[in-house]
Amino acid sequence: DEQLIPYLYTKAGFSPDLILELYEYCASQGKKQYRYIEAVASAWIKDGIKSAEQARITTDTYINNYKAVVNEFGITRQLGQSEKNYIDKWSKTYGFNIEIIKNACSKTLLSIQKPDFKYTDKILTAWHQKGIKTLNDLETMEQNFQKSQASKKNKTYSTPKTNNKFNSFSQRNYTSEELDELERKLLSK
């Protein structure tokens, strides 16, 4: 702490209010270790946080995102760092709001009956690639998918008429006695 506080103040440009906010946030998370405080400070520097108000908004958003995913998945433990990285990717990199993230979590549970961050990541990556930004976009995509599935089910298929050697012969017609005789010959071999 004796080295971290002067570094944050002089080198990182943290104001006294921001340093106080950093320590309050870490204490509220039950983390008072030097390494954790340093990691949070590094993340704030990376995110360009310069004021205590920005820090409050950022931490509230992150906490709310984490809690929403934990609640949606029904997880009763603390999230690991890799799980937090997924949530940060979905919200920061992809720019998804928490409602879309919760929707993907719900789809994961419906599909595989367990919380799985990798599976949810595949869903959200696909949505990101398709340009989904809002719940309306998602609903439109799902409606279009349902329509295409319905049209595939209603489509009738007919066998093409061709004159190749496989379709141009007449079918054999056997009587039941002939079939019995063929069966006896096959069984006797």
CA 43 distance to own-chain centroid: 23
State pLDDT tens for residues 27-84. Answer: 888 888 888 899 889 888 988 898 999 999 888 877 888 889 999 999 988 888 899 8
Sign of the four-CA dihedral 97, 29, 46, 84: negative
Question: What percent of the chain is predicted at pLDDT more than 90?
Answer: 40
Alpha-carbon radius of gyration of the chain: 31
Query: Per-residue pLDDT averaged across 1-16, rounded?
Result: 86
Q: Tell me the residue type at 53.
A: E
Query: Between these two residues, 166 and 102, which has the higher pLDDT value?
Result: 102
Give the integer Cα–Cα distance in Å for 112 and 105: 11
Residue 23 has pLDDT above 70, yes or no: yes
| Mean pLDDT, the chain, whole residue set | 86
State pLDDT tens for residues 157-170. Answer: 444 555 556 666 66
The answer to whether the predicted template modeling score (pTM) of the entire model surpasses 0.85 is no
The pLDDT of residue 158 is 47
Residue 119 has pLDDT above 90, yes or no: yes
Least Cα distance to 134 among 107, 63, 142 occurs for: 142
